[in-house]
Structures are given as C-alpha cells and as structure tokens.
Amino acid sequence: MIVLLHHTAEKYLNRLNATDRERINDAIDELEKEPPKGDIKPVIGQTGNFRTRVGDYRLLWQVKKDHILVTHIDPRGQVYKKKNKRNKR
C-alpha cells in the first residue's frame, strides 16, 4: 500500500536529526507492507485512526481506500495534545 505524508508530518520529519529521521522512514516503509507491520495500535475513540510507536515518537495515520495517510509525527507527549487541540477548533 502507498504511504503518503501530510505536509505537517513531512515538515516535522525534515526537521529531525538524521538518526531519528531514518528510524521513522524505516517505520513508514513497514507501513507499506501488507498487512502493515510495527508497533501499531488503534487510537481510542477515533475510528479508522492508528498510531505507530517509533521510540519516543508517534506517527498518527489513517487508512484510506488506496493509501495510508500519515497525518502527524510528534514526540509521545505532544502528538495527542496537538491532535485533540486541532479537533476542537
């Protein structure tokens, strides 16, 4: 399956140091497999949304018809706060 990055996720990924960026890119490659592999869990209370743990970082993503969309990449303590703040607007 094709994995696409939302512009905010791509922007955050590009700001990371090389080691963290490589680890996250490896996790994104694992999402392309059928079925997606990695430390994946559904996000509680959000149907169709999943999270992948990569060390201290979390990738939030959704399965669309023909692709996976990574919507957020942030540190563990921030990703859920930012996601909830955006949803309340």
Total Cβ atoms within 10 A of residue 12? 19
Higher pLDDT, 16 or 44: 16
Distance CA 72, CA 6 (A): 7
The SS3 call for residue 17 is coil
Summarize the confidence of residues 9-19 as an average pLDDT: 95
Distance CA 45, CA 29 (A): 26
Is the pLDDT score of 77 beyond 70?
A: yes
What domains are defined for the chain? 2-88 (3.30.2310.20)
Q: What is the pTM of this model?
A: 0.83
Residue 75 is predicted with a pLDDT of: 92
Both tokens of 61, joined, read: 């993503």
